[in-house]
Structure 1
Amino acid sequence: MRREETKRLTITAVFAAILIIQTLVPNIGYIRIIPTLPAVTTVTLTVAVYSILMGPKAGFFFGLFWGITRLIVAYAQPTDLVSLMLFQNPVIAIVPRVFAGYLPGIIAKYFYKTKYSKLGYVLAGAVAALTNTILVIVLTSLFFMHDPASLVHHLGNYTPSSPLILILTTALGFNGVLEAIFTAIITPILVRPLKIIMKRH
């Protein structure tokens, strides 16, 4: 039992170090494609893989850790005004990432020991990215619904009369789709050999 706990702690430490590097080093965990919009997030891949390997409960806390680091970076290293306005809000910074860490573990657990396990990894990766994007859009809409103009004029050529959630879906949806495709493709490629290594040790 103690050996198993040590192994889990070691794996968690390695993934936490990777996440910190992705968060702090420019263009590794957050790749900026459109200068005025939030960066495309590749950290979801790390979170999805960890959640699949370690389970939904561990994924929940790893997502919480991701959210806290994102909140800290929003204050310490703000990059663009939209990210600053969004992710200095603790709810927007943390809640989507907690669910993005929790759900991949649930999906992988559901498909575990079935002939569709590889499909489960693909879905888990896609869901991690989409959950993060969708919840950021929904929570931002709720927090800015009384003053959408303060955010809209930083998002590009949008009219303040348009529904905020539609504007956010248009502005951030492209990033979300890219993240989902990337994470869905790479997650099973990483998870399968890592599971083999974990079983051997």
Structure 2
Amino acid sequence: MKRDNTVKLAVTAVFMAILILQTFVPNIGYIRILPAIPAITTIPLTVAIYGSLLNPCYGTVFGLFWGLTRLVVAYTQPGDMVSLLLFRNPVISLVPSILAGLFPSLITKYFQQKNLPVKKWVYVLNGAVTSLTNTGLVITLASLFFMRNPQILLSNIGNFTAGMPLFIVLLVSLGMNGLVEAIFTAIVTPIVVTPLHYIMKRA
């Protein structure tokens, strides 16, 4: 039991170090395509891999760690006005990140509790769910928080038809990034998780 906890803590330390690098080293965790739109992020991949390897408690804490780094970046080095406006809100920074860390752990735990084989397609699902949870909740929460004064966000996003609902604008502008992230995360997660899971079982 003690050895198992030591392995989990070691894995956690490594993944936290990776997430810090992705957060603060340019073009590793946040890849900026268009100046006015929040960057495409590879961090959901790291979160999905970690969540697939460890239990929901660990996954939730790792998601919280991601949310805190996201909050720090919004205050210290935001890459665009939209990110600054969105992620300086602790709810928008923390809630999607925490749930994105929790859900892949829950999916894996469900299969383990049912004594079902955790095959590669489960890790594909974990990757997609992690990314889509983050994107979907950011869009939903942003729509709610900026409902009364959507022009603050709309003026920084780009050219959209006047009177278009904020939720639709965010779905179009952020949803494309989210779709790319989800496909990338779903494809790569099983490739990385499968050998890491084998190594951890032998450790």
Do both proteins adopt the same fold according to a TM-score greater than 0.5, normalized to the shorter chain? yes
Query: Are 1:73 and 2:48 counterparts?
Result: no
Q: Secondary structure at the match of 1:162?
A: coil
Identity across matched positions, percent:
59
**What runs of 5+ residues in structure 1 fail to find an aligned partner?**
none
The alignment status of 1:176 with 2:178, answered yes or no, reads yes
For residues 180 and 22 of structure 1, what CA distance do their matches in structure 2 show?
17
Deviations 1:130-155 (A, max 9, x none): 00000000000000000001110111
Task: Report matched runs for 1:29-178 at 5 Å.
Answer: 29-112=29-112, 113-115=115-117, 117-178=119-180
Where does residue 22 of structure 1 map in the other structure? 22
Name stretches of at least 5 consecutive residues in structure 2 with no aligned partner.
Answer: none
Match of 1:193 in 2: 195
**8 A contact 1:148–1:160 mirrored in 2:** no
Q: Which runs of 4+ in 1 moved over 6 A?
A: none
Whole-Å Cα distance in 2 between the matches of residues 74 and 135 of structure 1?
17
Give, in angstroms, the shift of residue 115 of structure 1. Answer: 4.6
Deviation of 1:59 after TM superposition, in Å, equals: 0.5
Higher mean C-alpha deviation, range 134-143 or range 30-39: 30-39
Shift of 1:39: 0.4
Residue correspondences, number: 201
TM-score of the aligned structures, taking structure 1 as reference length: 0.97
* RMSD of aligned residue pairs (Cα, Å): 1.1
Distance 2:82 2:3 in 1: 45
Aligned-pair CA distance for 1:161: 1.0
Q: Quick one: which amino acid aligns to residue 94 of structure 1?
A: L
Deviations for 1:10-36, whole angstroms, at most 9, x for unmatched residues? 110000000000000011011111221
Q: How far does the alpha carbon of each residue in 1:33-59 deviate from its partner, in whole angstroms, 9 at most, with x for none?
A: 122100011000001110110122210
